[in-house]
Amino acid sequence: MKSKPKPQVKKVVLAYSGGLDTSVIVPWLKENYGCEVVCFCADVGQGDEDLQGLEQKALKSGADQFVLHDMKEEFAGEYLFPMLKMGAVYEHKYLLGTSVARPLIAKHLVDVAHEVGADAVAHGATGKGNDQVRFELTVMALDPRLKIIAPWREWEIRSREDAIAFAAKHNVPVTATVKSIYSRDSNLWHLSHEGGLLEDPWNEPEEVMYQISASPENAPEQAEYVEIEFDCGNPVAVNGERLSPAKIVECLNAIGGTHAIGRVDLVENRLVGMKSHGVYETPGGTILLYAHRELESLVLDRETMHFKEMVAVKYAEIAYNGLWFTPLREAMDAFVNATQGPVTGTVRLKLYKGNIISAGRTSPFSLYREDFATFGQEDVYDQSHAEGFIRLFGLSLKVRALNGLPVSGLNMPQPDYSRFKRD
């Protein structure tokens, strides 16, 4: 089988993190495509340590230009909070920290390509993972004219050892060592861990792996209360202090991490068809999701809440699969925003050794009526009315039994339908 010819590229913008993979991609691109390389770094809240010295590192690796965008507030307000309002969680556990960041990074990747006059973009996602899909679908949606280069699907590098050897050969400054066992992704919302002993799902994660959350055993012996205020579904204040979207997440990350909140161990179904085992730390996001659900339980009617729960499953799949810039996601956002007006009020939570415990919720749009809910009041609710309701609600069950039809696998005689015919 003939190898596919490489496209002609003059300038490429690389989604650059400064890690081992993207560092060696810089000289590889110049060597294999003979093009200018612009390193683009997205600040999505991964921390100052990860960003320090990146420009110098990129240029020493052979980059012609370095571009950094601070996207923390955009990330929180336009990506995390819409997902929060929907209540989207992938496979019951994963709060989609990496998934939802990729479309944003790819959007800015396209923007930078336009700004610098590039005809291609590149990323360091592997051919076995989800990120390649998320990056490339976004580029296809926003500018299909851009060429996409995915080195992991082209080059001969097949291991961490290969990458380290390539870096040494090309004088690329990297700090990675063969002994580094975990693959991590960090942003404002979460920190993920993959690889190492996690490749066997029977293994319990080692405590030294965690970086932003205390263990339940080492968490404070004293519980801490936190109050979160919402306006139309969006969190706007923590403990009475109004903060920007990114600052709210940062604040709750610190509080939640102290109390061991937000640790998740998950075997998930990747988009590409295989299962993977990962561990996530999402302290602030876990608190916000819990608080938002508590407030919705107070203000949303039953039909809206239950339908929204069904839609949230699909929304999570869309975010996980990289289909953020699609008409369906936009339509689903329109739906959820129409439900969020009454999601206004305050929730009080108690945090203790990995647990979140409800301690109060209030809203001017509350649908809860004590006079209806109390067992002692008969002037607003006549309990005798329930009899007729139950008879109608259970009529189909009654008819089924009268007809002698099987229930729960029980063998019952076939009914004589002639008895029920009308003249």
- Is 361 assigned a catalytic role? no
The tokens describing 107, both together, are 């959007």
Q: Give the total residue count for the chain.
A: 423
Q: Taking the C-alpha atoms of 156, 146, 122 and 187 in order, what is their torsion angle to the nearest 10 degrees?
A: -150
Phi, psi of 184 (to 5 degrees): -125, 150
Which H or E element spans position 37? Answer: strand 36-43
DSSP string, 91-109: TTTB--HHHHHHHHHHHHH
- Is 183 assigned a catalytic role? yes
Q: Which residue in 21, 186, 276, 329 is the catalytic one?
A: 21
- Is 21 assigned a catalytic role? yes
Q: Which residue in 17, 43, 102, 186 is the catalytic one?
A: 102
Q: Which residue in 23, 61, 99, 131 is the catalytic one?
A: 131
- Specify the pairing of strand 241-242 against strand 275-281: unpaired
Q: Which residues contact 422 (CB under 8 A, 6 or more apart)?
A: none
Q: Which residue in 183, 192, 213, 276 is the catalytic one?
A: 183
User: Residue 46 corresponds to which amino acid?
Assistant: Q
- Is 333 assigned a catalytic role? no
Nearest CA among 35, 12, 34 for reference residue 117:
12
Helix and strand numbers (H, E) in the chain are 15, 14
User: Residue 350 corresponds to which amino acid?
Assistant: K
**Residues classed as catalytic:** 21, 102, 131, 183
